[in-house]
Amino acid sequence: MKKHLIIASYDGISTHYCGVGTTTQDTILSLMDLVGSKKIKISLAYISANPSGGAFNQKSFENSSALVKKTNGHLIPLCNGTAGFSDYDMWSSFPQWECACASLATALNMILKDDEDNVLMLHDTPFLLFYKFKQQIIQKNFKCFYMPRSSGLNHKFGDEEWRQTRAKLEKEAFNAIQNDTTSSILTIGKTFGQHLMTDYNLSFAEKDYLNNGLFFERFKTFLGQKFDSSELKKFGINIDSKFKIIFSWGRASVAKGLKELLEAWSVVAESLPDYYMIVQAPNNPAENDYFQILKKYEASIPRTIIINDFNPEIWQTILRTNNTKIVCIPSIMDPNPHTPIEAKLFSLDMDFIIISSSVDGVRDTFADDECLWMDPYDKSSFSNALIKAAKMSDEEKIRIKKANSMSISKYNYKKTIKNFLRMIKFI
């Protein structure tokens, strides 16, 4: 029987602006390598984006089109009543979520075939609402895997009324999905799975956990290079080569713990006069007030730089810069972010130590001997970790870096996708 894999995502197919987009892109790139000699048809369903809008990403769209063409699948634009210029408008509107899911049901009625084994992967919260429209599908030979990446009760994003409405919708969706024998919920990481079990009374078998990861081949160019601080001038970062760098990156969101990082840095900045704090924190319309808080810290704390730029070349260059000695992952509400995996991968042959949050999904990426743990809510814990990392001996640094190098292979996302295809018996 012909195998048909349909992937639905609001990001990463014709747009790219968040972690779900990175996962979707990595899925597409991994599948390009995996399906060459396999009889798998792949279709991609995406929230329609205006090609002249700020959210549209040409490279992502080209990769998506190439995969669909290679496997004789379908590229499926879904309803977007916001006109598709902005990512935030669609994400903030629950009616938009329903419209997208309803249009997905319509599209599936047009492309699904009874003589094919159809599997649908639904990436992140908006597609939980597909359960409402699943019964509209005429062809019954298909199975759904819902893959939420955050939850309203765990991720305090948006105002309280919006968040509570989201949590109510999620509870209804989770209950309906768990009672559907042709649907499953997958969780990215053990920690996030525990939140879902506690907050939404879900249950997971071992096969329901997916390991987060990255498509390593994307980073070959940078992993083969090292830079000095002069290379940072092209990004507007002008610091003397005598200074060492503490670095963190991620969108300007309360989930990322960047405010907590800067508060800890304010305590120890005078004690570490040979260090600069650099934070790549691109602003986003949803949390502009948070970004302004970061800018105030930049103005008040010496040797502090906030970079309002999404360009991934910036964080990749800084992580391969010899002056970078401390890398911070201060996340407080990330189910399972990519930043710790990026830090682990880019630490190979470099001289930086990783300081990691102990309160969220980052815990799924590091073992105790691979980083320095801290509680980002505890300013003393965080600032002490900065001091400890700055004064760490070369012998201990070597031990920590060796531990990371030995565990990195399990975060190759191509392996994750390959294991998923095996689980659904597509390979």
Distance CA 23, CA 26 (A): 5
User: What's the CATH code, domain 217-411?
Assistant: 3.40.50.2000
96-114 pLDDT tens trace: 999 999 999 999 999 999 9
- pLDDT above 90 (res 2): no
C-alpha R_g of the chain = 22
Backbone phi and psi for residue 6, each to the nearest 5 degrees, phi listed first:
-115, 125
- Which range (51-65, 147-161, 321-335) has the least confidence? 147-161
On average, the pLDDT of the chain sits at 93
- pLDDT above 70 (res 38): no
115-170 pLDDT tens trace: 999 999 999 999 999 999 999 999 878 999 999 988 988 887 778 899 999 999 99
273-290 pLDDT tens trace: 999 999 999 998 778 899
- pLDDT above 80 (res 84): no
- pLDDT above 70 (res 37): no
List, edge to edge, every strand of the sheet that includes 75-78.
75-78, 40-47, 2-9, 116-123, 142-147, 183-185
Confidence category of residue 210, pLDDT binned at 50, 70, 90: confident
CA distances from 425 to 5, 116, 119, 134, 176 (A): 11, 13, 10, 22, 25
- pLDDT above 90 (res 211): no
User: What's the CATH code, domain 2-215+412-423?
Assistant: 3.40.50.2000
- pLDDT above 60 (res 395): yes
Of the chain, the percentage scoring pLDDT greater than 90 comes to 78
227-270 pLDDT tens trace: 999 999 999 999 999 999 999 999 999 989 999 999 999 999 99
Mean pLDDT of 314-332: 97
Higher per-residue pLDDT: 188 or 184: 184
Q: Note the pLDDT of residue 66.
A: 95
- Which range (43-47, 192-196, 293-297, 386-390) has the least confidence? 192-196
Question: In residues, how long is the chain?
Answer: 427
What residue segments make up the domains of the chain, in order of their start? 2-215+412-423, 217-411
Does this chain's domain 2-215+412-423 share its CATH topology with 217-411? yes
Give the 3-state secondary structure of the chain. Answer: CEEEEEEEECCCCCECCCHHHHHHHHHHHHHHHHCCCCCEEEEEEEECCCCCCCCECHHHHHHHHHHHHHHCCCEEEECCCCCCCCHHHHHHCHHHHHHHHHHHHHHHHHHCCCCEEEEEEEECHHHHHHHHCHHHCCCCCEEEEEECCCCCCCCCCCCHHHHHHHHHHHHHHHHHHHCCCCEEECEECHHHHHHHHHHHCCCCCHHHEECCCECHHHHHHHHCCCECHHHHHHHCCCCCCCCEEEEEECCCCHHHCHHHHHHHHHHHHHHCCCEEEEEECCCCHHHHHHHHHHHHHHHHCCCEEEECCCCHHHHHHHHCECCEEEEEECCCCCCCCCHHHHHHHHCCCCCCEEEEECCCHHHHCCCCCCCEEECCCCHHHHHHHHHHHHCCCHHHHHHHHHHHHHHHHHHEHHHHHHHHHHHCCCC
